Amino acid sequence: MTSIAFFIEKWPLWGLPAFATLLAPWQEKLTNMSLISDMFQPTLNTAASILAPLCCLVTFSVVGGTPKTLSKPCLRAFGVFIGALIVCLCFKYLLGMWWSPDPLLTMGLWVIWAVAYLTLFGAFAVTVVTASLLAFAR
C-alpha cells in the first residue's frame, strides 16, 4: 500500500484528532481574527452564516463519486479558500493603512473585499464537505 493511500485510509482514525490537536492552541486567535473591516459587520457575518451551510448542503447533494473525482473539487475549493484568505488579509492590512486610493476605487475594492470574504466561507464549506466525502469514500 502506498503511503498516500495509507494516509487517506487512516485519516478518520488519527488525522482528524491530530489536526484538532494542532489547531487547539491557536483556536482563540483564529476565531478572533478579523478578516474584514468592522464597518461591514454584522451584515457580512449574517450572510456568511447563511452561505456556508447552504454551500455544504449543495455540495453534499451535487458532488459524489469516487475518490478520484472528489479530489479535484476538494483541491480547487481549497485553492479558492487560500486565495480568498490572502485577499482578505491583504485588504485588511493594506487598504487604508498603507494604501489610500481615491474614493471611487476604494468603494470598488470594498465590493471585491466583501465578495472575497463571502467566497472564503463558501470555499471552506465546499472543502470540508468534499474532504469528508473523500475520507469516507474508501
pLDDT tens digits, one per residue of 96-133: 778 888 889 988 998 999 999 999 999 999 988 888 88
Domain count, the chain: 2
25 and 79 within one domain? no
**Using CA atoms, how far apart are residues 89 and 34, in angstroms rounded to an integer?**
9
Which of the pair, 92 or 97, is modelled with greater confidence?
A: 92
| Residues 137 and 66: beta-carbon distance below 8 Å | yes
The model carries a pTM of: 0.71
Answer yes or no: do 28 and 66 share one domain: no
Q: Is the same domain home to 66 and 117?
A: yes
Tell me what pLDDT residue 135 has.
75
**Rounded Cα distance, 90 and 113, in Å:** 10
Range of the domain at 72: 34-136
Same domain? For 22 and 84 the reply is no
The closest of 71, 72, 91, 83 to 124, measured between CA atoms, is 83
pLDDT score at 23: 66
- Residue 79 is predicted with a pLDDT of 94
- Which residue carries 447533494 as its cell? 61
The answer, yes or no, to whether the previous bond of 42 is cis (omega within 30 of 0) is: yes
